[in-house]
Amino acid sequence: MSTTLDINQDIRSLTDFKRHTTELTKHLKQSGRPVVLTVNGKAEFVIQDAASYQALAEEAERAITIAGIQRGLDEIKRGEGRPFSEFFKEFEAEHGIAKNTE
Domain count, the chain: 2
Instruction: Classify residue 2: in a domain, yes or no.
Output: no
What percentage of residues in the chain have a pLDDT greater than 90? 74
Instruction: Classify residue 76: in a domain, yes or no.
Output: yes
Question: Which range marks the domain in which residue 28 is found?
Answer: 11-48
Rounded to an integer, the average pLDDT of 25-54 is 93
Rounded to an integer, the average pLDDT of 40-59 is 94
pLDDT at 38: 96
In this structure, are 57 and 25 located in the same domain? no
In this structure, are 58 and 81 located in the same domain? yes
Give 36's strand partners: 11, 46
pLDDT band at 101 (very low <50, low <70, confident <90, very high): low
pLDDT tens digits, residue range 78-98?
Answer: 999 888 899 999 999 999 987
Instruction: Classify residue 81: in a domain, yes or no.
Output: yes
| Position 34 pLDDT exceeds 60 | yes
Rounded to an integer, the average pLDDT of 4-30 is 90
Contact 36, 5 (CB under 8 A): yes
